[in-house]
Amino acid sequence: EAQVTQNPRYLITVTGKKLTVTCSQNMNHEYMSWYRQDPGLGLRQIYYSMNVEVTDKGDVPEGYKVSRKEKRNFPLILESPSPNQTSLYFCATSPLPSGTDTQYFGPGTRLTVL
């Protein structure tokens, strides 16, 4: 079954404690991306990757890091989480490197930073 998986699905943590949210896909898609969703703001892109070892900033990259060492995985790293990073996070993939085609989403990760 073609899918995008994220782990963990729910996470409560404290300010400053480093965390990683994993994202993995089995669709052999070139493009991967991270979004955060906040009430009234829709989804906003944090980082995206058009290929292995190629990553670029989206609209809200501050406080986040990513890496793309292999095609199927695209982890999101919060080195020092703060309460304003409390949000719902989505990983997504797209078949074209440009990301201009349909985005296929993971189930989401609900993060709470105390």
Nearer to another protein among residue 4 and residue 78 (C-beta): 4
Residues of this chain that bind another protein (CB under 8 A): 33, 35, 40-45, 48, 50, 56, 58-59, 88, 90, 92, 98-105, 107-108
Q: How far is the CB of 4 from another protein (least distance, A)?
A: 10
Contact 108, 23 (CB under 8 A): no
Tokens encoding 45: 């892109």
Provide the 8-state DSSP code for 33. E
Omega of the bond prior to 8 within 30 degrees of 0, cis? yes
User: Least distance (Å) from another protein to the CB of residue 53?
Assistant: 16
Cα 24 to Cα 92: distance, rounded to the nearest angstrom:
9
Write down the least CB distance from residue 105 to another protein, Å. Answer: 4
Q: Given the complex with another protein, which of 16 and 39 has the nearer CB atom?
A: 39
